[in-house]
Amino acid sequence: MKLLFVADPLDTFKIYKDSTFAMMREAARRGHTLWATQPVDLSWQRGGRVLARALPITLTGVSGHDEAPWYTTTGLETVLVAEFDAVLMRKDPPFDSEFFYATHLLSQAEREGAVVLNSPAALREHPEKLAILEFPQFISPTLVTRSAADVRAFHKEHGDIILKPLDGMGGMGIFRVRQDGLNLGSIVETLNGNGAQTIMVQKFIPEIVDGDKRVLVIGGKPVPHTLARIPQGGEVRGNLAAGGLGVARPITPREREIAGVIGPKLAARGLLLVGLDVIGDTLTEINVTSPTCFQEITEQSGFDVAKMFVDALEAEIAGDRSRAVVEGHDPF
């Protein structure tokens, strides 16, 4: 297969832990051809099709913390996005306006015959904080609002709460307010801009001390090990980007239950890879942009997450080809 990865600049990859790199390495091991581009290098003009200025890349075999180059390339080429067997949208958050515009260009590429995973439309329809609203049976008491008065009433009811922006990533902008309500007003003003921005408020889940667990779901099926991201020091956040300690653990029955309901539904919408965040028995977020933790889980558990992913990718492409033939046209 000829694969195009839409991602951050390659030279920013920390390959010892990067999940996109793990995907590339497994795909290359199977003989697939790798290309890489960035959202800024996507374009479209009337009368033509969606183009990408992209790098054909060959992996050098370097891994871990080695300083040697991990890829080689012959340089940028302008290519038709629809000519790839699959396009993997792996641009890291935040989901800002430019990310949004990139998904629309990729949706146009889909209309031209491209297979894009995760689906651009599904990315737009499943914002990572708000996607949990579809599954209230799995979440803690949660409020989405611009109203400071609503937040105060929620705090009065639940006492110990977490407040977060809807566009945050890596634990950015998360605050805990305890029973005493210290600094609640200031925090709300900071997060919601005096009513200009919608925020999320949730009842604090004390099981965070045991970790904020990332449950990876690939092709609708959960990976059999999770990564518990355990807060360190005085932190309330377990995110690895916020200094959390990642510990791989076997998936629990409750996590399987949650993944068993959510995974197949989201897979049917074109979300090949999803990262569920679970604290205790409670779902807190659904990550769809560029879920991570492949390498941490694999190194600690021995389960090859990248292999499971590329297996699912190959099956998805084979299925798409079969559907195209049945429908009487084969763009491949």
- Is 225 in contact with 290 (CB distance < 8 Å)? no
* Whether residue 152 lies in the annotated active site: no
User: What is the DSSP annotation of 93-113?
Assistant: SP--HHHHHHHHHHHHHHHTT
* Whether residue 83 lies in the annotated active site: no
* Whether residue 66 lies in the annotated active site: no
C-alpha span between 222 and 200 (Å, rounded): 27
* Whether residue 146 lies in the annotated active site: no
Q: What is the CA angle 218-11-229, rounded to 5?
A: 45
* Whether residue 249 lies in the annotated active site: no
Q: Measure CA 245 to chain center.
A: 19
* Whether residue 265 lies in the annotated active site: no
Tell me: cis bond preceding 94? Omega within 30 of 0 counts.
yes
* Whether residue 254 lies in the annotated active site: no
Check 17, 26, 237, 255 and give the catalytic one: 237
Check 25, 214, 239, 255 and give the catalytic one: 214
Check 26, 85, 277, 296 and give the catalytic one: 277
Check 164, 192, 239, 296 and give the catalytic one: 164
Q: Which of 40, 126, 117, 43 is nearest to 79 (CA)?
A: 43
Q: Please give the sequence-ordered ranges of beta strands (E in DSSP) within the chain, or none if there are none.
A: 2-6, 33-37, 42-43, 51-59, 71-73, 77-80, 86-89, 116-117, 142-145, 161-165, 175-177, 199-203, 212-218, 221-222, 225-230, 245-250, 273-279, 282-287
Check 118, 192, 239, 287 and give the catalytic one: 287
Q: Which of 51, 41, 34, 13 is nearest to 88 (CA)?
A: 34
Check 129, 192, 203, 213 and give the catalytic one: 129
Check 25, 229, 255, 296 and give the catalytic one: 229
* Whether residue 98 lies in the annotated active site: no
Please give the positions annotated as active site.
Answer: 129, 164, 214, 229, 237, 277, 285, 287
